[in-house]
Structure 1
């Protein structure tokens, strides 16, 4: 998935709005140019000195309160019809004025990289300034932050009016969704893009939501239950680290006493090892303690920068790194990424010696993930140093932050700061990172939806999501598919009220996990919103499976709401169907439309039992559509055991 190295600069960022008092401060979601939710009471909150009087003035009316003992305050503005612009003035010891405020509908646009994907990256470039310079659409991209406890404000973000320039670095799916809504509803639309590529759903769930699932218990008890922030854990570790290092971590290691980190070290007896990889998969599988690993590297030709970044990826559990005998960094925690900027004064054009002391305190061990920078992958030399008994080794609790998959961290940093905001709903495009645990997603995804409804204090908060597009090669014959199972898990969430699904099965790209047609995705989400949430009679969504009937060796498939079906094939054929008999083995099937049902059959299956449609990572070209132009959603009629059953989140401390 799309991952940007610069995001790691934000890891460990802790922003506490009310740490420093004196004057009124607002969370940064409250700015000029923003949208407030129409038709609902709107909470405005912030901090100041304790017992300070706070007043909000707008449209000739005043609303007053006093701060609590911790300096926090909240004022609820009465519900308001769509419109604007308005000015809101907040007064205490200082005055803050917010201008160009609109009342309309706010949608949070979440998920992973296909939601993060920018307008500038779409296939058909957006150049219609006359249409896109729309003052009634406002855009906000939330900054990234992570923590074990809920934060008070977002790390960054700015409300912008929609124009041909501001949309370019904004979520394409969100923009096309918002534009279609605004042009059909004629009310202001506020879009909050709050997402990150490659993230799993559990990273966006609250601490409380995770508590109910046993697979998160070990992680929850170690990191979330204590309710300690990154800042607090880092301070505790810094305090105990000198004593711990002297007594435990850096003791009895010949590599330190003999200075194996120096380039002059004799390595003729050192052995070869492949990097990246876990020690549990090689000759070090029974070793816990320090292993000294070494290789050389050259700088790129004509390299003129002041620093050179060494990216070791993820290391289980701790590491210290040296370049040409100079210590360049150390990190604790097996999920944290190692990015060390080496000063040019330490470097030479060729044959720089990189030495890493990798310390395994139990479990797998090793430098195991160099996805970000594979330049250092390959053969290394190694020699074992200090050996420990992992069962008795004192392992300190450190911040262990894998931004893409550590449960609750992105919720706490990116969603918790805005849960007091009144919003219209959520659009969501995510699931790729959970595909290998698709059966688990069947329970996580609805729990996630319910969690956000609880956190936003809106029991019926609308939630619309994208069913994953096709990706990877087409199968030669029917087979298990993680992505098909994930789509099936997504569709099961439609059992929750106020949900809707946009099917993207026909607009994927076999060779690109980021298909560039985001316009149709956004419009399909908007159609789902218009139909399911705004109850516009002319709106429509992809048909979903309802029930089947077996008759004369055929399976007759019916769909909910009796849609008008067509085949895009000129002969009326329908691709993508598979059928199984009593042996539960699927065979490709023939199918045709009859009276807005689909008749499925195969000469290989005389007594059919079940049907699957578009059941593959990428089912290839499909023909089954409605007269409105939307594809039928993938489905299965069976309840056979799936390939991902039993695969759940695993945390290795």
Structure 2
């Protein structure tokens, strides 16, 4: 009897495997429960024998059969026009002699975003998220879906990845990025459409492994900068190694944009981060063949960095946001409950701020103001320096006294400074130790937490005025 049971089990397993023709394959990201970009020209791709006349039939346009032929590598691609309606929809693939090879079901049309970076993006929902609030309703929201790319590294670009689409539920949400989760929930609530989140992240990674090889080959100055990084590490350090295995396989998938949280691992080479990060963004846009919106997080305060490394790296991030079109940076210096923890547990508002950036810049919701106030100008009045900012309304201080201002004297020495808000919204800064001030700084250390906020509730971004050009 036991032997008969084993034989039957083997036959059933074999039947299940045989039901899917091994000659036909789709990338794992084109699978049940996927979210595809709505109202767009979307690429489909896969593998089948080159003698096939592959036919593709979409449920929203059943009369329009799309034909595809594979090349000598058995690789094919085709383009479809997705509808505006959310669905659910399905796509059928017919192979040799019109045999149904695969049917992909429960596809939603909406907004799909790639969520990438290192450990603060990888920080999952099962970890403490102290500002999460009540997420009971969010966990039942089947319009938000996740695709988590399995960690992998490769010397060369690969075509396939491991992963599957998951519908948001009390069972599935725990293993996904907290920042991405709240980003997606906020977008879904604001837009009223399904949101797909592709999570491709790896804690402890520097930016170099995320840069594609083409960019390194054609921008030699970036390659030279990349050779300064350490060879040994807890995560891959080789140029392009993570891009090859975790980004390249999904570059054909049409997305709305990218959110990014990374930089901590580059703090010891902060001066090089701006060019490398800029190159990475441009490289991804080139590989995806789209001028992708790219919104990122300025790294949070932490007291474990050496010197002022984090301050210099934040400055580099701000440079990219200011000079590279279709990017945006959110400031999160206030979203820290322990400066001794490099992984702040206040993750909801990070995701919300990224979502607000996308809502304003990508979805043109003009009523949303996602920009933190920045330095606008500075002038000297005797022993004082007067700072003006881009604040919405007048700045307010959340402490009894304003902290984290510094002044620089003629000798280049930096001293703590006192600051007060003027009636016209400007900031007056002075220091008893500086008779002739030449520059002013704000939150320009590794772990300074901002205490000045505009009427929109966003913190004044860190700055210095003594930067050498």
Shorter chain as normaliser: what TM range? 0.7 to 0.9
Distance 1:443 1:219, change over 3 A: closer
Q: Evaluate the alpha carbon distance shift between residue 218 and residue 178 of structure 1 in structure 2; reply closer, same or farther with a 3 A threshold.
A: closer
Q: Is the 2:37–2:109 Cα contact (8 Å) retained in structure 1?
A: yes
Aligned residues of 1:503 and 1:631 also touching (Cα < 8 A): yes
Partner of 1:464: 295
Q: Residue 269 of structure 2 aligns with which residue?
A: 437
Where in structure 2 are the equivalents of 1:560-571 lying within 5 Å?
560=390, 562-570=392-400
Whole-angstrom distance in 1 between the partners of 2:167 and 2:261: 24
Which of 348, 351, 355 is 1:519 aligned to?
A: 348
Name the residue aligned to 1:91. 94
Q: Deviations over 1:560-608 (max 9, x none)?
A: 36553211124xx321111112212111111122323322222222222
Out of 91, 107, 122, the position equivalent to 2:113 is 107
- Matched residue, 1:132: 139
Q: Map 1:410-449; keep pairs closer than 5 Å.
A: 410-449=242-281
Q: CA RMSD in A?
A: 2.3
Q: Find the aligned partners of 1:562 and 1:46 in 2 and give their Cα distance.
A: 50
Tell me, in whole angstroms, the C-alpha distance in 2 between the residues paired with 1:215 and 1:205: 10
Alpha-carbon shift at residue 454 of structure 1 (Å): 0.7
Q: Report the Cα distance in structure 2 between the residues aligned to 1:177 and 1:147, rounded to whole angstroms.
A: 29
> For the structure 1 residues 496 and 216, does the alpha-carbon distance in structure 2 shift closer, same or farther, using more than 3 Å as the test?
closer
Partners of 1:561 and 1:412 in 2: CA distance = 41
| Deviations 1:473-526, CA, capped at 9 Å, x for gaps | 79xxxx940011111111111121111111111223222111111111111111
Which SS does the other structure have where 1:208 is aligned? helix
- Corresponding residue SS for 1:448: helix
Equivalent residue, structure 2, for 1:175:
181
Q: Which residue of 2 aligns with 1:486?
A: 313
Instruction: Choose from 462, 466, 469 the match for 1:634.
Output: 462
Distance in 2, Cα, partners of 1:455 & 1:159: 23
Q: Decide whether the 8 Å contact of 1:543 with 1:632 is kept in 2.
A: yes
- Report Cα offsets for 1:106-131 as digits up to 9, x if no partner: 11100001100111102336663223
Match of residue 70 from structure 1: 73
Shift of 1:39: 3.1
Q: Shift in Å at residue 217 of structure 1?
A: 5.7
**Whole-Å Cα distance in 2 between the matches of residues 49 and 83 of structure 1?**
33
Q: Is the 8 A contact 1:120 1:126 kept in 2?
A: no
Deviation readout 1:282-310 (Å, 9 max, x if unpaired): xxxxxxxxxxxxxxxxxxxxxxxxxxxxx
User: Aligned partners of 1:555 and 1:134: how far apart in 2?
Assistant: 51
- Residue of structure 1 aligned with 2:123, choices 89, 104, 117: 117
2:163 to 146, 150, 157: 157
CA distance, structure 2, for counterparts of residue 62 and residue 537 of structure 1: 40
> Quick one: distance in 1 between partners of 2:44 and 2:210?
24
SS in structure 1 at match of 2:173 = coil
**How many corresponding residue pairs?**
435
| Deviation for aligned residue 1:558 | 2.3
Quote how far apart the aligned CAs of 1:637 are.
1.6
- Quick one: which of 445, 452, 459 aligns to 2:284? 452
Residue matched to 1:373: none
CA gap of 1:589–1:82, structure 2 versus 1, over 3 A, is farther
Q: List alignment gaps of at least 5 residues for structure 2.
A: 1-20
In 1, are the aligned partners of 2:203 and 2:235 still within 8 Å (CA)? no
Corresponding residue for 2:24? 24
The more displaced of 186-195 and 622-631 is 622-631
Match of residue 209 from structure 2? 203
Partner SS for 1:181? helix
**What is residue 529 of structure 1 aligned with on the other side?**
358
**TM-fit CA distance, 1:99:** 0.9
Partner secondary structure for residue 204 of structure 2: coil
Over 3 Å counting, the alpha-carbon distance change for 1:546 and 1:91 in structure 2 is farther
CA distance in 2, matches of 1:518, 1:447: 27
For 1:605, the equivalent position in structure 2 comes to 434
SS of 1:433's partner is helix
1:505 paired residue number: 333
- Give the match's secondary structure for 1:84: coil
Q: Judging changes above 3 Å, is the alpha-carbon distance between structure 1 residues 32 and 215 closer, same or farther for their aligned structure 2 residues? A: closer
407, 412, 429: which is aligned to 2:239?
407
1:35 to 1:544, Cα distance in 2 relative to 1, 3 A:
same
Task: Give yes or no for contact 1:555–1:601 (8 Å, CA) kept in 2.
Answer: yes
Comparing both structures, which one devotes a greater share of its residues to helix? 2
Measured after TM superposition, the shift of residue 79 of structure 1 is 4.4
What residue is the counterpart of 1:549 in the other structure? 379
Whole-Å Cα distance in 2 between the matches of residues 420 and 51 of structure 1?
Answer: 24
